[in-house]
A and B are shown apart, each in its own frame.
Chain A
Amino acid sequence: MNQQLLDAVAGDSLTRAAWQRFRANRTAVAGLVMLGFIALFAIAGSWISPHDMETNDWERIQIPPTFEQSHWFGTDANGRDLFVRVSAGARISLAIGMLTTLVSVLIGVLYGAVAGFVGGKLDQFMMRIVDVLYALPLFFAIIVLVTIFGRNIFLVFIAIGAVEWLTIARIVRGQTLSVKQMEFVEAARSLGAPQSRIIARHVIPNVLGPVIVFSTLLIPTVILVESFLSFLGLGVQEPQTSWGSLISQGAGAIDTSPWLLVIPAAFLAATMFAFNFIGDGLRDALDPKDEG
């Protein structure tokens, strides 16, 4: 308690204060721990297991989870080890989720901050573009792209990113409109800061809170979209795999070998939960109303 008090007095940043609030939120911490394990599994999975995701074990086709021969999650219809395949799928799903979100955030924050800060005609013009793109149906666009250019993981990645940044741009623009009214923006201007620097140093840091929260909730959305596309057969290509394609294959064999569906689905669900818990925790921790 005393130490906490001292920390609060010596506390050196808003980030630390937010981290303390986040730490006090049990579900959020549980989500973080869960996500940590999933990430560890994604990175180290193919290391731990003696198997290889592409090698077929013809002796043991579609066997249930067993310790024999280290097929911990069993094997699929081609005798490939499910443990390694789920781990590889985790890598793809998480990477797509995070990279797409990162790209969306970069574009969306910059776009929204410029539109909101400059305002006037430029703002109108930029936001109408966003409205038009918003009206495009995501899955339809992706299916058209995939039909034209063939199946390619980068295409999926670009298509999802091209749609998701729109929401971020809207959030950031709205926040920027209120931040630019604040006196410190005027103060920076009165001390000679050019517009670009005011946006970069004074506006963007102050709108990042909601963006961070939205991003943690965006990552699972992207993973889900990717899984859905893979489920439809529009996502990653064999022998590469993702949770979506694994679930798709598992769904076909649900009567005979349910573990092929249940295990990847459980991982997907756990990841969704983890990100959503973290997002909720961050929203509470970064809420400026709680500060002070």
Chain B
Amino acid sequence: MNEDALLVVRDLAVRFNGRRGAVHAVNGVSFTLGRGRSLGIVGESGCGKSQTCLAIMGLLAESAECSGSILFEGDEILGARRRRLDELRGQRLSLVFQDPMTALTPHRTIGQQLCEIVQQHESTTHADARRRAIEIMDRVRIPDAERRFDMYPFEFSGGMRQRVVIAAALIQRPALVVADEPTTALDVTVQAEVLRTFKAVVEHAGTSLILVTHDLGVVAGTCDEVMVMYAGRVVEHADVISLFSKPQHPYTQALLACRPDLDAAHTARMYTIEGRPPDLARGEPAGCSFEPRCAHATQACRTSRPPLEARSPTHRVACHLSPPAES
């Protein structure tokens, strides 16, 4: 196993027991993330991306049942005590929220909210906390940080607020930042700028990153590795170059084909994947979950679930059709 693995997830499963029966939101997810590496998780809504992130943060809802193991710097996160989690969160691992409009407390200034994070993790003077807050605000390119330190969230634009949320997540220089669609709520023109800053700060601090997104373009520009999820399972996990150049799983290929092509004739219809993801409350099918929507499905796909197998040292796929690694 990787020596400097920061995060090791093994057989993570998250289940919600609802009135209609159990919903398996995440099933048998395993992956390893090295220090300073960045991993993109993509997939459509309800495929288990966000629940995986929340499990890593130890923030799953109380109604969730989970099994498996999440080792972060050698510490087990699943089932850890709340006090231990409070120490870790914000200090060693932190989360960037999707919607900057709601992720900041409306009645307290930006400065108070940033300093609070410093002061709850270490005993330091207020002046020192303030200095560090302004430093991180500068780093995420909030202009005029000194003055904005005393302003309230409602006086910030969406993009600026998201920078504050990012600053809050990074102020203690954690080893891992989990970002759950950090730019989806922003204006398209602002997205790129915020993302660029985010990436620069993360790289500068040597922080590992897990980035959850719908946007394959964002992943291509930001991440070292990509993990594609479908119906609660990992279907393909590869380094970013081989995933984009040689996608193996039909679902990944379909996702890539869905991207709008600027060169295509404007009369050409955009490609879409027919059908819908399976209802996770109905229990898993015996075969591959993607089989009903897959253009290449065979009899084997209906009857047995393909395991996630390595095709090369950096490429894992769960599909009966993709060729095994050449040995």
Contacts and interface: CB of A to CB of B under 8 A. Distances in A.
Chain B: interface residue count, which band? 20 to 34
Contact of A201 (B57, B105, B121, B168): B105
Contact of A206 (B86, B105, B169): B105
A291 B152 CA distance: 14
B62 to A, nearest CB: 9
A131 interface: no
A190 B99 contact: no
Contacts of B116: 193, 197, 201
B118 to A, nearest CB: 10
B86 A205 contact: no
Interface string A182-193: 111011111111
Interface string B36-65: 000000000000000000000101000000
Nearest to B154: A14
Nearest to B57: A190
A12 interface: yes
Q: What size tier do the contact residues of chain A reach? A: 20 to 34
A184 B121 contact: no
A197 B108 CA distance: 13
A189 B105 contact: no
B108 A201 contact: yes
Nearest to A185: B105
Contacts of A11: 155
B251 to A, nearest CB: 30
B107 interface: yes
A51 B58 CA distance: 71
Nearest to B151: A12
Contacts of A151: none
Nearest to A190: B95
A191 B89 contact: yes
Contacts of B86: 192-194
A14 B99 contact: no
Interface in A8-24: 11-14
A188 B88 CA distance: 13
B120 A186 contact: no
A202 interface: yes
B243 interface: no
Given A187-B95, A197-B120, A201-B116, A14 B152 contact: yes
Interface in A166-202: 182-184, 186-195, 197, 201-202
Contacts of B102: 182-184
B89 A187 contact: no
Contacts of B95: 187, 190-191
Nearest to A179: B105
B150 interface: yes
B94 interface: yes
A183 B102 CA distance: 6
B190 interface: no
Contacts of B99: 183
A191 B117 contact: yes
B15 to A, nearest CB: 21
Interface centre among B83, B99, B106, B107, by most A CB within 10 Å?
B107
12 contacts: A13-B152, A184-B102, A186-B97, A187-B104, A188-B105, A190-B57, A190-B59, A193-B116, A194-B83, A201-B105, A202-B108, A291-B154
Interface of B: 57, 59, 82-83, 85-91, 94-95, 97, 99, 102-108, 116-117, 120-121, 150-152, 154-155, 165, 168-169
Given A191-B89, A195-B82, 11 more contacts: A183-B99, A183-B103, A187-B97, A187-B165, A190-B59, A190-B90, A190-B97, A194-B120, A201-B105, A205-B107, A292-B154
